[in-house]
Structure 1
Amino acid sequence: MSDEPLDDTGEDVELEATPRQSGMSGKKIVLFFVVPLLLVLGLIAGIFLTGLPSALMGGGSESQSAEKQASSSSQSVFYNMPTMLVNLNSDGQQQSFLKLKVTLELASEKGKSRVKKVTPRVVDNIQVYLRQLRMEDLQGSAGMQRLREELLRRVRAAADGAEVRNVLFKQMLVQ
């Protein structure tokens, strides 16, 4: 006898092979498990990158209060540099001039007295740099930022050890 089932008449009946569904398809697994898992991981990463856990636990307030105390105890001192008027590099075209007034942000009064002593050297370093600039070098906010960074580098080099924090533009006229 065969192992196949019998029908009511006692004859062998062949069963059709029907594919058995194994619970969930691949799309459903992705939709119900993988996507929510990625969303939760992204949310957790975002929370940690913003620093929210340390702020909730009180870690951020100590460092912020220390920064406020440090900044209030060391106020900036400002020193106005003399007005500078230079002609720009024009490659034989019409002459262009730059009139520049800057203020130096210094860390202390001691730094201000040091810069006062070496002001001619600082002005010389700035003017030598400005004379090699072209009109195109000063265009746009990127040009202004490059100018600020370069002036700060040159002022720090000539400032005789004074801590120069920033170069602030008071007036800049290109003609």
Structure 2
Amino acid sequence: MSGGARGEKAPKEKTGGGRRKAVLLAAAAVLLLGGGGAGAWLGGLLPWPAPWPGAAAPAEAKAAPPVFVEVPDIIANLNTAARRQTFIKLRAKLEVEGPAQAAALQASMPRLLDIFTTYLRETRPEELRGSAGTHRLREEMMARANVAAAPVRVTDVLFVELVMQ
């Protein structure tokens, strides 16, 4: 009989337990270093990363304040089926993105007044009632202004006075 049969145990084969410990140890080290670095950065110990060159240029270009162009008073009669006429008086300002666009918008003001007056004359008084009517009027005027004054882009219509009688 051989010596292995008498009760001697055969040596155990490694199943990769040493490799698993090394991977876990490396992962723990990465997490510890990453967490420490993040804590130091959030704590102000590490400097803030510098932005890429040219990254600040678009932000500075959009920092210019908007320009408001006054629309002359518009008085128009609304579309009614009744004998009694209903009038609207409208004073507004158009918001554009810069002085160059404001000058171009001012040059096309006669066309804008014509389009706004024509639109108002076809509007019924019921369509202008309430905040939903005012919002709809603002959206319609902004869309018409963008078409009439292209390539100028009107970003908003601000009502200074809106009276129906």
Shift of 1:70: 5.0
* Aligned-residue identity in percent: 36
Query: How does the TM-score come out when normalised to structure 1?
Result: 0.59
Task: Give the distance between the partners of 2:107 and 2:143, measured in 1 at CA.
Answer: 18
The counterpart of 2:115, out of the listed 109, 117, 125, is: 125
Task: Give the distance between the partners of 2:126 and 2:61, measured in 1 at CA.
Answer: 37
The counterpart of 1:162, out of the listed 148, 152, 155, is: 152
Task: Give the distance between the partners of 2:161 and 2:91, measured in 1 at CA.
Answer: 5
| Alignment of structure 1 residues 7-156 onto 2, 5 Å | 69=59, 73-156=63-146
Counterpart residue type for residue 78 of structure 1: F
Task: Give the distance between the partners of 1:142 and 1:75, measured in 2 at CA.
Answer: 28
Counterpart residue type for residue 128 of structure 1: T
Aligned residue number for residue 38 of structure 1: none
Aligned residue number for residue 32 of structure 1: none
Q: Would the alpha carbon gap of residues 118 and 97 (structure 1) be closer, same or farther in structure 2, given more than 3 Å must change? A: same
Shift of 1:93: 2.9
Q: How much is the aligned-residue C-alpha RMSD, in angstroms? A: 2.1
Residues 30-80 of structure 1 show CA distances to partners (whole Å, capped at 9, x for unaligned) of xxxxxxxxxxxxxxxxxxxxxxxxxx9xxxxx9xxx7xx458622100000
Structure with the higher fraction of residues in helix conformation: 1
Q: Which runs of 5+ in 2 are unaligned?
A: 1-41, 43-50
Counterpart residue type for residue 158 of structure 1: A
Shift of 1:116: 1.0
How many matched pairs? 111
Counterpart residue type for residue 132 of structure 2: A
Counterpart residue type for residue 90 of structure 2: L
Aligned residue number for residue 14 of structure 1: none
Counterpart residue type for residue 108 of structure 1: G
Q: Would the alpha carbon gap of residues 133 and 162 (structure 1) be closer, same or farther in structure 2, given more than 3 Å must change? A: same
Q: Which runs of 5+ in 1 are unaligned?
A: 1-55, 57-61
Residues 75-115 of structure 1 show CA distances to partners (whole Å, capped at 9, x for unaligned) of 10000010000000111331000000010000111111101
SS at 1:91 equivalent: coil
Query: How does the TM-score come out when normalised to structure 2?
Result: 0.62
- Contact 1:114-1:160 at 8 Å conserved across structures: no
